Amino acid sequence: MPALNVTTVSEYSSEDVVNSYATRSQLQRPEARILEQLAPKLRNASMLDIGVGGGRTTVHFAPLVDHYVGIDYSQEMVDACRSRFNGEHDHTSFAQCDARDLSRFGDATFDFVLFSYNGVDYIDHTGRLEALAEIERVLKPNGVLCFSTHNTGSIRKLFELKYQLSLQPRSLVENLGRWLGLRWRYSRAKLTELKDAEHCVFFDGYRDTYYVDPLEQLRQLEPGFTGTTVYSLDSGDEYAVSDLPAATDYWLYFLCSKR
């Protein structure tokens, strides 16, 4: 099985990062809109929350479903969730698990699978397709998948100082350092090559991350999923397919149903 990004695995196991994630509960704009749309369908549903982190999405989704399982590659994140939600919901459980191998779950187990915060982008291309196939397998017929992924259309914008400083910062100094690092690392020709790629692994100043053209992401979903809607990170609004090539959101949300 292809390896996960080692730097990412180590980072999301560190005490400081785990403690930070275990205090988060705010949904992003597209997540809030998708939750509102799905809420009536989630009653009596079973849900798998992949890359659950410190339980940010658990706060909002677990109370709505009949059966909730949160999984993460990081055992430390799983432990943080167990501590955070200890005794709060009888129908909620957490486990360490790799999205590429969901063999602990039977076929057609879940009505809804969420893979938020671009967790799928820290798996290589082969592993990504394996994860999508595993998610399809564990979803019930007409089950729903929601996930976010970095957008190649945002790569050029990441090299703009004004945009970098507008991002939610760890600190302004870190964001400035990130911008300087990108300018030093990538030539203009390489930047154009990355932006125009169907998908690429791009060191975006934090870690090696998979970025994908939104139309290519739709093609990746075609074998097992249908009815895909794409949401803007910036506004939370839906994109028309014809507008996707011009999308510059840092990442996008995809909502689709199993065929």
Cite the residue boundaries of each domain of the chain with CATH code 3.40.50.150. 6-151+213-258
**Residue 47: predicted pLDDT:** 98
**Is the pLDDT assigned to residue 168 strictly greater than 80?**
no
For 34-69, the pLDDT digits (tens) are: 999 999 999 999 999 999 999 999 999 999 999 999
pLDDT of residue 2: 46
- Average pLDDT for residues 150-178, to the nearest whole number? 86
Confidence of residue 232 (pLDDT cuts 50, 70, 90): very high
Kindly report, residue by residue over 170-229, the tens digit of the pLDDT: 678 888 888 898 999 999 889 889 989 999 999 988 889 999 999 999 999 999 999 999
Annotation: CATH topology of 6-151+213-258:
Rossmann fold (3.40.50)
CA distance linking residue 87 with residue 135, whole number of Å? 28
What torsion do the CA atoms of 86, 89, 8, 172 make, to the nearest 10 degrees?
Answer: -90
Distances in Å between the Cα of 156 and the Cα atoms of 12, 118, 192 are 27, 19, 8
- Write down the pLDDT at residue 255: 98
Say yes or no to pLDDT of 127 above 80.
Answer: yes
Q: How far apart are the first and last CA of the chain?
A: 26
Give the per-residue pLDDT at 154.
94
